[in-house]
């Protein structure tokens, strides 16, 4: 007898991905998470807060419960979450009036921990703006097959950078600031002189600003396209350390960089949107800007050597870049290491500050690198110390010799 076929659940799960995404966008558009920010509400009160009738609001809330963004419980005060982990005090329960009374009794909905930490507008780690921008321009996805055949989308993000990148840069900044701060804490500022931090394709400058925060005497230089540079300037103006950040409008392929003058050069999520040769040239430009001992910091989503569901973020990010830009989509850690070696750098520690995100470093030989200086100062070694949320990957990505 032939073996029983597997369940079709994985196919449903893929279709559900589309539904989950748009349910989340609707919740953000309706301000549903903010409505629950100060405590649980029943369906009637939630419906009133978001301006939707109680049946429809209840079904959306049920979907968000299924997505683990909300919790639902019978009306017992005390279940819930705030932005860290403490449940907020339950307010007095609103009067029962909803049609969910016909089910298991009146339910109250509450924010789950993920929503409380990442989906409230204005939160320190908020991804609320990023949700809309992260898949790239939505209209590119239905034409993906044709894009893959043709080798480029019908319209590339870089054809009109001012139309897409400002919102993406603003959306990605809060969570990237958290990731960048974790990496900056691993590297120590040089002693006895003012350090220079260069951020190429800075966006809202989460990486440069995190380093300036961690290194109180350092100065920064952020390079951003003229169509997007207002976002960099806004971010610097709004940040307590932003007065130490100089902002230059121009392409990172062409602006004059301080040759041999930088202690850190950051390439934050820019190499994947470049064609391969341009990415390698950009690494060489960044390397030339480093002083001896200076460190190249590359934050990205490298292509895994063996695809797996554990690398979902990296793999789908790569497809997003192919769907929306003329870039290569993703490079491998080994590629970056080879480009860095070709530019005279020595590959160094690798970190994973966020799930799927990899931060690769490479250092110009000849001085005390920020990583080594951190060891000398007793804060961390050149090989990073494991800590929650910041995982050294040196053993996962051993130095490789794959050639172009
Ligand atoms: C994905 S965002 C990353 C922003 C920030 N580095 C981060 O990691 O969050 C890419 C940024 O690179 C900028 N960019 C793209 N091409 C560029 C170029 N040729 N010169 C300067 N900036 C560029 C875009 O405008 C955009 O703000």
* Tens digit of each residue's pLDDT (9 = 90 or more) over 110-157: 999 999 999 999 999 999 999 999 999 999 999 999 999 999 999 999
Using CA atoms, how far apart are residues 225 and 200, in angstroms rounded to an integer? 10
Task: Using most ligand atoms within 8 A of CB, pick from 133, 165, 167 the residue to mutate for ligand 1.
Answer: 165
* pLDDT, position 78: 52
Residues in contact with ligand 1 by the CB-under-6-Å rule are 161, 165, 168-169, 172, 176, 201-203, 206-207, 223-225, 228, 251-253, 268-270, 299
Q: Measured in angstroms, how far is the CA atom of residue 270 from the centroid of ligand 1?
A: 6
Segment 33-60 mean pLDDT: 97
CATH class, range 9-118: mainly alpha
pLDDT band at 106 (very low <50, low <70, confident <90, very high): confident
Which residue CA neighbors atom 1 of ligand 1 most closely? 269
The dotted CATH code for 128-392 is 3.40.50.150
**CATH topology agreement for domains 9-118 and 128-392:** no
Task: Using most ligand atoms within 8 A of CB, pick from 134, 160, 169, 283 the residue to mutate for ligand 1.
Answer: 169
For 359-402, the pLDDT digits (tens) are 999 999 987 666 665 554 433 333 343 434 444 433 222 333 33
Indicate which atom in ligand 1 lies nearest the CA of residue 231: 27
Using CA atoms, how far apart are residues 188 and 375, in angstroms rounded to an integer? 8
* pLDDT, position 89: 43
Using CA atoms, how far apart are residues 89 and 36, in angstroms rounded to an integer? 12
The structure's pTM equals 0.87
Using CA atoms, how far apart are residues 275 and 109, in angstroms rounded to an integer? 47
Segment 263-288 mean pLDDT: 98
25-33 long-range contacts (CB < 8 A, ≥24 apart) are 25/131, 25/132, 26/60, 27/60, 27/64, 27/69, 27/119, 28/119, 28/121, 28/128, 28/131, 28/132, 30/60, 32/60, 32/61, 32/64, 33/69, 33/111, 33/115, 33/116, 33/119, 33/120, 33/128
* pLDDT, position 254: 97
Task: Using most ligand atoms within 8 A of CB, pick from 270, 274, 285, 353 the residue to mutate for ligand 1.
Answer: 270
Where along the chain do its domains lie? 9-118, 128-392
Q: Measured in angstroms, how far is the CA atom of residue 194 from the centroid of ligand 1?
A: 26
For the chain, the maximum distance between any two Cα atoms, rounded to a whole number of angstroms, is 77
Strand bridging mode 245-249 / 41-42: unpaired
- Please choose, from the candidates 386, 397, 273, 248, the residue with its C-alpha nearest in 3D space to the C-alpha of residue 326: 273
For 329-352, the pLDDT digits (tens) are 999 999 999 999 999 999 999 999
Q: Is the pLDDT of residue 74 over 80?
A: yes
pLDDT band at 241 (very low <50, low <70, confident <90, very high): very high
């Amino acid at each position: 007898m032939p073996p029983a076929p597997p369940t079709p659940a994985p196919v449903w799960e893929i279709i559900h991905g589309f539904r989950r995404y748009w349910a989340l966008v609707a919740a953000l558009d309706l301000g549903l998470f903010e409505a629950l920010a100060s405590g649980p509400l029943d369906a009637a009160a939630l419906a009133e807060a978001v301006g939707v009738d109680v049946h429809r609001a209840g079904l959306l809330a049920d979907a968000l419960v299924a997505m683990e963004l909300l919790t639902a419980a019978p009306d017992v005060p005390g279940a819930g979450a705030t932005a860290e982990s403490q449940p907020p005090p339950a307010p007095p329960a609103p009067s029962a009036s909803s049609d969910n009374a016909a089910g298991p009794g009146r339910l109250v909905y509450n924010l789950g921990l993920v929503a409380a930490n990442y989906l409230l507008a204005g939160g320190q780690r908020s991804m609320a703006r990023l949700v809309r921008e992260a898949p790239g321009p939505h209209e590119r996805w239905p034409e993906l097959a044709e894009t893959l055949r043709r080798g480029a989308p019908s319209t590339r993000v870089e054809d009109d950078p001012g139309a897409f990148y400002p919102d993406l840069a603003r959306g990605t900044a809060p969570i990237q600031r958290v990731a960048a701060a974790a990496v900056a804490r691993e590297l120590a500022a040089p002693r006895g002189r003012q350090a220079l931090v260069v951020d190429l394709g800075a966006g809202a400058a989460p990486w440069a600003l995190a380093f300036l925060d961690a290194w109180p005497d350092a100065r920064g230089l952020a390079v951003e396209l003229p169509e997007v540079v207002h976002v960099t300037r806004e971010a610097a103006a709004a940040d307590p350390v932003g007065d130490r950040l100089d902002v230059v409008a121009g392409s990172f392929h062409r602006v004059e960089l301080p040759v041999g003058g930088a202690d850190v050069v950051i390439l934050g999520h820019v190499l994947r949107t470049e064609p391969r040769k341009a990415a390698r040239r950009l690494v060489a430009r960044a390397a030339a800007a480093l002083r001896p001992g200076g460190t190249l910091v590359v934050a990205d989503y490298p292509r895994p050597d063996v695809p797996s569901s554990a690398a979902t973020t990296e793999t789908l990010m790569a497809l997003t870049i192919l769907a929306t830009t003329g870039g290569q989509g993703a490079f491998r850690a080994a590629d970056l290491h080879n480009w860095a070696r070709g530019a005279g750098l020595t590959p160094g520690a690798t970190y994973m500050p966020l799930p799927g995100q990899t931060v690769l470093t490479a250092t110009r030989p000849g001085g005390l690198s920020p990583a080594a200086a951190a060891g000398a100062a007793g804060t961390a070694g050149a090989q990073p110390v494991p800590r929650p949320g910041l995982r050294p990957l040196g053993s996962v990505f051993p130095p490789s010799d794959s050639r172009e």
